Structure 1
């Protein structure tokens, strides 16, 4: 972006905070795994559990890819 900072620069500036987000996502994933032990596919909460699993896996993947990209970018500079 001419005359400004790109979104990638703004995200990579927060690279030191990404491991905290990863720790939160991993903790939520562990708690979600315990929930799968008590909810069966016929229950009403199962749909919410599946949606939550998709969101947690997607967020974890986003944080991992972002951290990897920003680390590689910092090493190239």
Structure 2
């Protein structure tokens, strides 16, 4: 087996935990959106809000695509 196949098997074995992580990231996204209502671009906490939003959206995209791929891979096997 190739290293890529072993890595994908290890990642896809954690598919159940990805659902929990996605739920947590979505909740964090909702809290970030709530904070965005009160923070303006001139505030000192605005850079933290931007970094948080980038991390949350990036995490949702990464784990969403990974979960989709692992589900598709499990259905084809």
Taking structure 1 as the reference length, what is the TM-score of the superposition? 0.92
CA RMSD of aligned residues (A): 1.5
Name structure 2 gaps, 5 residues minimum.
none
Kindly state the Cα deviation for residue 2 of structure 1 after the two structures are TM-superposed: 5.0
Kindly state the Cα deviation for residue 7 of structure 1 after the two structures are TM-superposed: 1.3
- Distance in 2, matches of 1:32 and 1:2, equals 40
Q: Residues 9-28 of structure 1: matches in 2 within 5 Å? A: 9-28=9-28
- Distance in 2, matches of 1:66 and 1:17, equals 12
CA deviation profile, 1:26-72 (whole Å, cap 9, x unmatched) = 00000000100111000010011001100000000011000000000
Name structure 1 gaps, 5 residues minimum.
none
Corresponding residue for 1:52? 52
Structure 1 moving runs of 4+ over 3 Å: none
- Distance in 1, matches of 2:32 and 2:58, equals 14
Corresponding residue for 2:42? 42
